[in-house]
């Protein structure tokens, strides 16, 4: 059976294993060595020289994430980084000096803050896009006057030093909006811009941006890929070998590498991704419907609800509902904080994608943009029994005055 005939659920289990030989370990070993036996001159691409250049445990994980990102075409392996943010930094660094980065104003606040820091230092120009500007026509207008990107290799596609980069998130964090990624990627490509899609929340089981034409798919593997809230790690899967080469060089020079142990833990997490995400998503759908009908909840954003503002796009991209939802509680921050404090099962914590259900009022972070409502809570649904999770939410909501009886 050829791997390209297999489902992602199967690839998540079989990829990144040692060769099937008598006596071989079933799992890749954790390779702890900072250097390798190597004599004589070394050149570019001689990876087994030093532990910052390559590591066999990373490579098993990189092959597995790569297989999940483009199962049909068997494209490039991913590159793993010391954190999701290190992957974000590597991707942003691809833009030419003074190039334009277009990022939704609803992007993950760390990505926005890093892009802003680079803009403040004069490294890039940053333009944040409101939802109305995230249409192919508006994007084409914004990119219309992009200077041509001079290439050392004029045939290179995508551009290796682009003058512009479009950043997308599927779905956005924490509002769970879903832009029409396929159409936006095409508009950006037509204008010569590089496209990066952060699909941390969707996971490669739900969204494969490279199949939509994106140049890079990004993950904070800290979340669903590892799945147990015990690792910080990032990954980038490039569409071409050329981009992979540039990113590998950046990772080596910036030293933004993960530990072999963490890479191994993420690989172990990926083995159960499909069953975890399936169960978590079913519970999220159940809870989203219950929350949406509750009098103390003013708004629920969940991609699996029929009244989601991006329902048409969600259907056209074939996105499932997923395991995250956002709910506005009561009338303001105070109500939302009181609600969270009354919960007994849900863990009040930042981050997402673990087996334990967690909840957070996002505006408690001073860096969270004002586009996020003060009383918005982000829920990451775990693997507890759905009824137990609902009973906990319902008991805490009983302390909040109804909002839907008035106005």
Ligand X SMILES: Cc1ncc(COP(=O)(O)O)c(C=O)c1O
The single-letter DSSP state of residue 212 is: G
Question: Six-digit token pair at 264?
Answer: 């191994």
What is the C-alpha to C-alpha distance for residues 130 and 97, in angstroms, rounded to an integer?
24
CB of 203 to ligand X, least distance (A): 11
Using CB under 6 A as the binding rule, whether residue 195 contacts ligand X is answered as no
Pull the structure tokens for residue 240. Answer: 């071409």
Q: Does 301 bind ligand X (CB under 6 A)?
A: no
The reply on whether position 227 binds ligand X by CB under 6 A is no
Q: Which stretch binds ligand X (CB under 6 A): 82-90, 131-139, 178-186, 324-332?
A: 82-90
Nearest to 230, CA basis, from 355, 348, 66, 87: 355
Q: Which of 15, 57, 200, 380 binds ligand X (CB under 6 A)?
A: 200
224 forms part of the interface with ligand X (CB under 6 A)? no
Please tell me whether residue 280 binds ligand X under the rule CB under 6 A: no
In the complex with ligand X, the residue whose CB is nearer, 108 or 302, is 108
Burial of 396: CB neighbours in 10 Å, binned 0-12, 13-18, 19+: buried
Q: How far is the CB of 201 from ligand X (least distance, A)?
A: 6
Binding residue count for ligand X, defined by CB under 6 A? 16
Contact 73, 5 (CB under 8 A): no
Distance in angstroms (rounded) separating the CA atoms of residues 245 and 238: 9
- Least CB distance to ligand X at residue 50 (A): 24
Which lies closer to ligand X via its Cβ, residue 197 or residue 291?
197
The enclosing H or E element of 348 equals: strand 347-348
Site for ligand X in 104-163 (CB under 6 A): 108, 110
Work out how close the CB of 356 gets to ligand X at its nearest, in angstroms, rounded to a whole number. Answer: 16
State which of positions 325-364 bind ligand X (CB under 6 A). 351
Q: Of residues 222, 256, 281, 380, which one binds ligand X by CB under 6 A?
A: 222
386 forms part of the interface with ligand X (CB under 6 A): no
Considering only the C-alpha atoms of the chain, give the largest distance between any 2 of them, rounded to a whole number of Å.
78
Applying CB under 6 A, among 59, 198, 262, 310 the residue interacting with ligand X is 198
Residue 401, Cβ density class (10 Å: 0-12 exposed, 13-18 middle, ≥19 buried): exposed
- Beta carbon nearer to ligand X, 64 or 229: 229
Distance, CA of 219 to chain centre:
4
3-state secondary structure of 194: strand
Closest-CB residue for ligand X? 84
In three-state form (DSSP H/G/I as H, E/B as E, the rest C), the secondary structure along 125-140 is: EEEEECHHHCCHHHHH
x/- string (CB under 6 A) for ligand X, residues 83-102? Answer: xxx--x--------------
The radius of gyration of the chain from alpha carbons, rounded to an integer in Å, stands at: 22
Nearest approach in angstroms of CB 274 to ligand X is: 20
Report residue 314 as tokens: 């969600």
The contacts of residue 213 (CB under 8 Å, 6+ apart) are 182, 185, 186, 189, 195
Within residues 20-79, the interface with ligand X by CB under 6 A covers none
- DSSP alpha helix (H) spans, 103-207: 109-120, 136-143, 181-190
* Residue with smaller CB distance to ligand X, 222 or 328: 222
CB of 225 to ligand X, least distance (A): 10
Asked if 237 interacts with ligand X (CB under 6 A), we say no
- Under the binding rule (CB under 6 A), the answer on residue 377 touching ligand X is no
Binding site for ligand X (CB under 6 A): 83-85, 88, 108, 110, 169, 173, 198, 200-201, 220, 222, 232, 234, 351
């Amino acid at each position: 059976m050829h791997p390209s005939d297999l489902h992602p659920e199967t690839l998540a289990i079989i990829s990144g294993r040692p060769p099937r030989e008598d006596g071989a370990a079933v799992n890749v070993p954790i390779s702890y060595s900072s250097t390798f036996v190597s004599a004589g001159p070394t050149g570019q691409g001689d990876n087994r020289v030093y532990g910052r250049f390559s590591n066999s445990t990373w490579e098993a994980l990189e092959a597995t994430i790569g297989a999940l990102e483009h199962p049909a075409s068997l494209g490039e392996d991913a590159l793993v980084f010391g954190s999701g943010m290190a992957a974000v930094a590597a991707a942003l660094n691809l833009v030419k000096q003074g190039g334009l980065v277009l990022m939704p104003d609803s992007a993950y606040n760390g990505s926005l803050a890093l892009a802003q820091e680079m803009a403040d230092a004069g490294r890039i120009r940053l333009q944040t896009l409101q939802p109305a500007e995230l249409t192919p026509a508006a994007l084409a207008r914004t990119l219309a006057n992009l200077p041509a990107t001079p290439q050392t290799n004029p045939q290179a596609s995508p551009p290796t030093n682009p003058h512009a980069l479009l950043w997308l998130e599927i779905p956005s964090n924490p509002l769970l909006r879903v832009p029409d990624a396929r159409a936006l990627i095409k508009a950006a490509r037509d204008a010569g811009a590089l496209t990066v899609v952060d699909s941390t929340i969707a996971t490669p089981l739900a969204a494969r941006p490279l199949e939509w034409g994106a140049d890079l798919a990004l993950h904070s593997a800290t979340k669903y890929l590892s799945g147990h809230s015990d690792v910080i790690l990032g990954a980038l899967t490039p569409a071409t070998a050329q981009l992979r080469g540039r990113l590998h060089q950046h990772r080596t020079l910036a030293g933004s590498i993960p530990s072999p142990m963490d890479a191994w833990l993420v690989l172990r997490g990926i083995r159960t991704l499909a069953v975890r995400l399936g169960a978590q998503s079913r519970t999220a759908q159940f809870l989203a419907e219950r929350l949406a009908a509750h009098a103390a909840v003013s708004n629920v954003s969940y991609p699996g609800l029929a009244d989601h503002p991006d329902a048409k796009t969600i259907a056209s991209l074939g996105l499932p509902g997923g395991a995250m939802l956002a709910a506005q509680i009561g009338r303001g921050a105070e109500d939302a904080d009181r609600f969270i404090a009354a919960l007994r099962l849900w863990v009040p914590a930042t981050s997402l994608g673990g087996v334990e259900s967690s909840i957070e009022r996002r505006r408690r972070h001073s860096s969270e943009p004002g586009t996020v409502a003060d009383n918005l809570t982000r829920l990451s649904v775990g693997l507890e029994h759905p009824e137990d999770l609902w009973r906990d939410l319902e008991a805490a909501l009983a302390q909040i005055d109804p909002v839907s009886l008035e106005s």
